[in-house]
């Protein structure tokens, strides 16, 4: 389908750059997409990771792809 073609095109373009693509095959894997990488966020990161690993997240974060700092910090 069209999405498959898009995936192939993006992957091929990434191969021409210094960037990498991470594909996570484990159901236990997760990523964080912060728009804000402030010193406050960096300092709170160990606590944020611990909460995520325990399965906790703010209810307001549910349904949002990007990390929303105001709900975590």
Q: What is the mean pLDDT of residues 32-46?
A: 91
The total number of structural domains that make up the chain: 1
pLDDT at 39 over 70: yes
If one compares 36 and 67, the residue with the highest pLDDT of the two is: 67
Q: Which domain, by its residues, includes 19?
A: 2-72
Quote the percentage of the chain above a pLDDT of 90.
Answer: 48
pLDDT at 11: 83
Render the burial of 10-48: b for 16+ CB within 10 Å, e for the rest: eeeeeeeeeeeeeeeeeeeeeeeeeeeeeeebeeeeeeb
Q: What is the mean pLDDT of residues 9-13?
A: 85
């Amino acid at each position: 389908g069209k999405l498959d073609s898009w995936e192939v095109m993006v992957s091929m373009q990434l191969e021409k750059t210094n960037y990498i693509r991470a594909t996570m095959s484990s159901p236990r894997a997760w990523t964080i997409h912060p728009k804000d990488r402030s010193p406050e966020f960096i300092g709170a990161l160990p606590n944020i990771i611990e909460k995520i690993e325990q399965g906790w997240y703010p209810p307001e974060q549910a349904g949002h792809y990007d990390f929303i700092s105001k709900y975590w910090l």
